[in-house]
Structure 1
Amino acid sequence: MFLRRTKAQLITPEEALPGRPVATPVTDPHEVLGTPLTGPFPEGTEIAVFGMGCFWGAERLFWTLPGVLTTSAGYAGGYTPNPSYDEVCSGRTGHAEVVQVNYDPTKITYEDLLKVFWENHDPTQGMRQGNDMGTQYRSAIYTTTDEQLTTALASRDAFAPVVARADKGEITTEISPLGEYYLAEGHHQQYLAPTKNPGGYCNHGPTGLSFCAPSDQPAHRD
Structure 2
Amino acid sequence: MALFSDTTTVLPGRDTAIETSQAHTINGHSLHPPFPEGHEEIVLGMGCFWGVERLFWQQPGVYVTAAGYAGGSTPNPTYQETCTGRTGHTEVVRVIYNPNQVTLETLLQIFWEQHDPTQGNRQGNDIGSQYRSAILTTTDAQLDAAKHSAAAYQQALNRSGKGAITTEIKPLDTFYYAESYHQQYLDKNPGGYCGLKGTGVTCPIG
TM-score range, shorter chain: over 0.9
Q: Distance in 2 between matches of 1:130 and 1:67?
A: 29
Q: Secondary structure at the match of 2:67?
A: strand
Q: Choose from 173, 193, 200 the match for 1:208.
A: 200
For residues 76-116 of structure 1, the C-alpha deviation after alignment (integer angstroms, 9 at most, x for no partner) is 00000000000000000000000000000000011111011
The reply on whether 1:10 has 2:3 as its aligned counterpart is yes
Correspondence for 1:171? 165
The CA distance in 1 between the partners of 2:93 and 2:67, in whole Å, is 5
Q: Tell me, in whole angstroms, the C-alpha distance in 2 between the residues paired with 1:197 and 1:147.
A: 36
Separation (CA, whole Å) in 2 of partners of 1:104 and 1:13: 41
> CA 1:138/1:91 → structure 2, altered by over 3 Å: closer, same or farther?
same
Gaps of 5+ in 1: 1-8, 217-222
Match of 1:74 among 63, 68, 76: 68
**Aligned alpha-carbon RMSD (Å):** 1.4
Distance (whole Å) between structure 1 residues aligned to residue 84 and residue 53 of structure 2: 22
Q: CA deviation at 1:121?
A: 0.2
User: How is 1:92-107 mapped onto 2 (pairs within 5 angstroms)?
Assistant: 92-107=86-101
Give the partner amino acid of 1:140. Answer: A
AA of the residue aligned to 2:173? G
Q: 1:34 to 1:109 in 2, by over 3 A?
A: same
* TM score, norm. by length of structure 2: 0.95
Q: Distance in 1 between matches of 2:5 and 2:189?
A: 35
CA contact (8 A) 2:46 2:52 kept: yes
1:91-130 equivalences in 2 (<5 Å) = 91-130=85-124
CA drift of 1:31 comes to: 1.0
Deviations 1:29-54 (A, max 9, x none): 10112111110111100001100000
Picking from 173, 179, 183, the partner of 1:189 is 183
Kept after mapping to 1: 8 A contact 2:67/2:93? yes
Partner of 1:148, secondary structure, is helix
Looking at CA atoms only, which structure, 1 or 2, has the larger radius of gyration? 1
Q: Report the alpha carbon displacement of residue 167 of structure 1 after superposing the two structures with TM.
A: 1.9
Cα-to-partner distance string for 1:181-213 (whole Å, 9 max, x where unaligned): 1000000001101xx111100011454211121
Deviations 1:6-43 (A, max 9, x none): xxx93247131110011012243101121111101111
Match for 2:126: what amino acid? Answer: D
What residue is the counterpart of 1:219 in the other structure?
A: none
Whole-angstrom CA distance in 1 between matches of 2:132 and 2:43: 13
Q: 26-35 vs 10-19, which deviates more?
A: 10-19
Give the counterpart of 1:157 among 151, 154, 172.
Answer: 151
Name 2:18's counterpart in structure 1. Answer: 24
How far apart are the structure 2 equivalents of 1:166 and 1:132? 24
Q: How many residues align?
A: 204
Q: Which runs of 5+ in 2 are unaligned?
A: none
TM (norm. structure 1) is 0.89
